[in-house]
Amino acid sequence: MKYIKTIVFKSYQGKLSTLALFLCLLASVPLVSIYTSFSSFNSQNWQHLVETVLGEYVYNSFVLMTGVGTLSAFIGSSLAWLIVRYDFVGRSACQWLLLLPLAMPAYIIAYAYTGMLDFSGPLQSTLRESFNWSASDYYFPEVRSMGGAITLMALVLYPYVYLMARVAFQSQSQSLEEVSKVAGKSSLQHFLRISLPLALPAILLGAILTMMEALADFGTVKYFGIPTLTTGIYRTWFGMGDINTASQLSALLCTFVFVLLFLEFSSRKTSQAYQSQGAAGRSLMSTTGAKSIGILITCLLPMILGFVIPFTQLLSWSLAYAQNESISQFIELSINSLILAIIGAVSIVLFALTISYAKRRVPSKRMNVSSRFVSLGYAMPGTVIAVGVLSPMGWLDQQINQLTLAISGETVGLVFSGSIFILIFAYLVRFSSIAIQHTDAGLQRIPNSIDEVALSLSKTPQHTFFNIHLPLIRASVLSAILLVFVDILKELPATLVLRPFDFNTLAVKAFELASDERLIAASLPAITIVLVGILPVILLTKTLDKKDY
């Protein structure tokens, strides 16, 4: 009997491992197809790109990502040091308020500030009316510029650095400060010579994450008219009608991403090596009066600029639009977005559960490497994923239509590439990493001894999973569903390119309306995305509150 149980268990493990590896292979196809595009090289189109715009694409992409990374690192590390170092009025509230800009997608803050700061916006109009100025009488910074894009992106991305730097500063031993005091060093000297160098790997890690987000951005740079590699891929695909050259541009962009991923991996290892266990009972420097208020204002300023002001402007516009226009179209967009996000989130989490459970039941180097390769999709820009997904899906549709034509004399059309299936597949490639991280973490908290006890009681692997493992990881699964749901709702470039005909979402509609300079009409879908985006921020805040740094 025991021998039969062992055979059944091994058979189950083999099927689970095969299924998981097949799913990993399936999700890796788009990433592989991008690089295989070089097998068909159009030298004429490449020569045209090299002679005209390729240099500008690369230069602007590099300037954008380095600018966003540098500014985010400065803002995030400064705020983290103030939170960890000083006890000031409102400190406890600032710890979570500083995370609110994470709910504001970069392209939405771009719409809000453009409406406020453009020549015809309320600020410049008020200045001209108040001082009787004409356009030539004053200078006002141009928001639709590289500097504007860098500033606005940094205002919503600095929390990545803030979170990393906060942990790094908090984990530094209290004895380091005591040694600095004995040596007669001021707080500024201690920060510059000791705390900052020790936290630098973590700060660099956060900055690299912001750089990858900037490199992947499409909505902001497209709206501001800044030619980058992401907009170049879109133009090559739809302007030149050459998806193969667009794939090759995607491969070039992926090379940038892989370099950043290598730096991120190196920084993560270094950051872990610098962490200390001597931070328990860390004391804060008390502040009073003007100094306390000054620190509070400094901490709140990025949050006000990155969330409160654009949110207030969007809310004002959306209320005016809702009063003057029918919201039936908004309801239809919300339903489309909701259905798409729910189907995508559930599918991706089921995919992640399969991969994570296979790694637990059948641990192997091949399984770990496959899951890590799939996780690279999260670092890929949405335009790159769209290009990589459309090629294999288009080929599959061609094969199906050839088969049905041979059998029945008729074609069935675009079964995969013309339906929401291709969107769900693109989301799976893009966001499966988030879900896998949560399901991995949930399963790793369950001792292996529970599996052994279940096996000794003759429980099948399916019974063990549904009745023991799944209830224990319920919180991790729900968190994964929530995060993926919100990311799908905010995703713009992949949805814009791959959506079926006459199918719109909140993100796409907001982009289309903003591109037509109808910012007030774009505010209602935009603020809906922001409000939903607050949910993972609340989840993150609760998670941070449970951790004892």
d(CA 3, CA 122): 79
Give the pLDDT score at 184: 67
What ranges do the domains of the chain cover? Answer: 1-37+349-498, 41-315
Residue 122 has pLDDT above 70, yes or no: yes
Burial 513-527 (b: 16+ CB within 10 A, else e): bbeeeebbbbbbbbb
Indicate the helix (H) or strand (E) that contains 87.
strand 86-87
Residue 543 has pLDDT above 90, yes or no: no
The confidence band for 287, taking pLDDT boundaries of 50, 70 and 90, is confident
Is the CB of residue 75 less than 8 Å from the CB of residue 302?
A: yes
Q: What angle do CA 237, 38, 418 make, to 5 degrees?
A: 40
Residue 272 has pLDDT above 70, yes or no: no
Residue 549 has pLDDT above 50, yes or no: no
Residue 493 has pLDDT above 80, yes or no: yes
Q: What is the pLDDT of residues 416-466, one digit of tens each?
A: 878 888 899 989 888 888 888 888 888 888 887 777 777 777 667 777 777
Taking residues 119-141, what's their average pLDDT?
81
The whole-angstrom distance between residue 7's C-alpha and the CA centroid of its chain comes to 43
Residue 67 has pLDDT above 90, yes or no: yes
- HSE (side-chain half, CA atoms, 13 Å) at 177: 17
Average pLDDT, the chain: 82
Q: What is the pLDDT of residues 201-260, one digit of tens each?
A: 888 888 888 988 898 888 899 999 999 988 888 888 877 777 778 888 888 888 888 887
* Ordered DSSP codes for 231-275: HHHHHHHHTS--HHHHHHHHHHHHHHHHHHHHHHHHHHHHHHHH-
Its pTM stands at 0.83
Name the residue with higher pLDDT: 374 or 506. 506
- 41-315 adopts what CATH topology? MetI-like fold (1.10.3720)
Torsion on CA atoms 84, 89, 94, 96, rounded to nearest 10:
90
Give the pLDDT score at 247: 81
- The domains spanning 1-37+349-498 and 41-315 adopt the same CATH topology: yes
Q: Supply the CATH classification number for the domain 1-37+349-498.
A: 1.10.3720.10
